Structure 1
Amino acid sequence: MKVLRRQRDTTLQDRLVWQVASLLLAYPDEQYAARLATAQQLLAHLSSPPADLLGRAVAALAGLDPMRAATGYVDTFDMRRTCTMYLTYWTAGDTRNRGNHMLEFLHAYQAAGAAPPQHEAPDHLPVVLEFAATVDPAAGRRLLVEHRVPIDVLRDALATSGPVYADVLTAVCATLPPAGPADRQRAQQLASAGPPTESVGLQPFTLTVPPRRTQEA
């Protein structure tokens, strides 16, 4: 019984980390302040080490005005190929296989009875984290573990280009099994050489790499 209780407690803590991370990694739109407030409330229920990392990120982001937060987000994630949060970009790159890789996420959402995301690609990390936190933690954890290498690459890239967000990724990584030697080697290869490329259209999705967010004047 104690083992089951520890497992339940661990799963709940991980889900809280994923939910807070999803809120912090979303684009700072008109709901920016509300998301930060929700993240702060959820942190009160976190007792695991990632709570300090996420708390530091919440405090840093709360100190930015919305315009500066939005500009910094775009500069970090939309203008740097090495910081894209679209996980299949790292596993399939600009190849015809990327659509098939995205289907893995869609199938997981559909199997859990969740509607596909309407305004974002299914492999976008904040979407995956919210799915893992609020819909199906087992399936969500599987997707995160299977894409541990891209998450590690993103975390390491953010260490220099977006340290606030690097704390968020470090907290997420703390909920996953430690990366093995093969994972670390693959991460190093991706960081140095980048993902595979191929000059073809992507089916069934057509996205730029990384997808560009339309900004209002």
Structure 2
Amino acid sequence: MKRPADSRTSLAWQIQSLLLAYPDERFPEHLTLARRVADTQPGPVGDPLLRFAERAGRTPLPELAADYVATFDHRKRCCLYLTYYAHGDTRKRGMALLRLKQTYAEAGRRLSDDELPDHLAVVLEFAATEPAPGARLLTEHRAGLELLRLALNDDDSPWAPVLDSVSATLPRLAGGDREAVMRLAAQGPPGEQVGLDPYASPVFLPDPVVGGLR
């Protein structure tokens, strides 16, 4: 029996969340789960999960973990903390983080001390259990998501297909990817000003926080 579309999307967000966390000793189990979930998804969502699982499955775990740190903890264009793309390390980012925490609290979700609310894995995990507000958060941060997706694809990163899969769960962007990203970046989230150039010198992002979901 096929799952309803909204149920399939929630399942996709859950596995995407696991795949974007630090690859620890449980990561091989997550790859196995990703293959199973991929079979329940439409092609644009499931096929990238299979591509990631195949490539990551051929990579020794220590090598994959080192690549994760090099990609997400030390490369500003590949930051997993979504509010950086709109606000950098400013007071506005603090307010954006507070709004995220309030959204989670309203749904009964309490973050642990080592979780930041704008980490993409955290947002996806929330969306998996609270699809309506979760989809809204992902859409509000769509510009950052697309900047991250493009950067990972430009670098031929192993994680690029995961972001392709995330993007495929969201409404289609009008026009070419890069033009749409720049338009969304110029508009920004409601009530905020953005304005960024993802392929100029990445001074709009601070040094990323080492850690996240581990």
Q: What TM-score does the superposition give when structure 1 sets the normalisation length?
A: 0.82
The offset of 1:47, in angstroms, is 3.5
- Give the structure with the higher percent helix: 1
Is 1:160 matched with 2:150? no
The residue type equivalent to 1:149 in the other structure is A
Aligned to 1:190: 197
How far apart, in 2, do the equivalents of 1:76 and 1:124 lie?
A: 14
How far apart, in 2, do the equivalents of 1:49 and 1:82 lie?
A: 24
Is 1:46 matched with 2:44? no
2:77 aligned to which of 77, 82, 86: 82
Whether the aligned pair in 1 keeps the contact of 2:37 and 2:46 (CA below 8 Å) is no
The residue type equivalent to 1:86 in the other structure is Y
2:24 aligned to which of 7, 21, 29: 29
How far apart, in 1, do the equivalents of 2:112 and 2:124 lie?
A: 13
Aligned to 1:213: 211
Identity among equivalent positions (%) equals: 40
How far apart, in 2, do the equivalents of 1:95 and 1:167 lie?
A: 31
Whether the aligned pair in 2 keeps the contact of 1:54 and 1:171 (CA below 8 Å) is yes
The residue type equivalent to 1:211 in the other structure is V
The offset of 1:115, in angstroms, is 1.3
Is 1:56 matched with 2:56? no
The residue type equivalent to 1:164 in the other structure is P
Whether the aligned pair in 1 keeps the contact of 2:17 and 2:124 (CA below 8 Å) is yes
How far apart, in 1, do the equivalents of 2:62 and 2:30 lie?
A: 16
1:1-217 aligned at under 5 Å gives the runs 9-133=4-128, 135-180=129-174, 183-186=180-183, 187=185, 189-193=196-200, 194=202, 196=204, 209-213=207-211
Whether the aligned pair in 1 keeps the contact of 2:74 and 2:207 (CA below 8 Å) is no
**1:18-63, Cα deviation, whole Å (9 max, x unpaired):** 1121111110112222222222232232234311111110111111
How many residues are matched?
197
Whether the aligned pair in 2 keeps the contact of 1:23 and 1:36 (CA below 8 Å) is no
The offset of 1:151, in angstroms, is 0.3
How far apart, in 1, do the equivalents of 2:14 and 2:43 lie?
A: 14
How far apart, in 2, do the equivalents of 1:117 and 1:109 lie?
A: 12
**1:74-113, Cα deviation, whole Å (9 max, x unpaired):** 1111110000010011111021111111112111111111
Whether the aligned pair in 2 keeps the contact of 1:50 and 1:174 (CA below 8 Å) is yes
Please give the secondary structure, in 1, of the residue aligned with 2:169.
coil
Aligned to 1:201: none
Aligned residues: CA RMSD:
2.4
Write out the 4+ residue segments of structure 1 that deviate beyond 6 Å after TM superposition: none
Please give the secondary structure, in 1, of the residue aligned with 2:211.
coil
Larger mean CA deviation between 161-170 and 177-186 belongs to 177-186
Q: Which runs of 5+ in 2 are unaligned?
A: 187-195
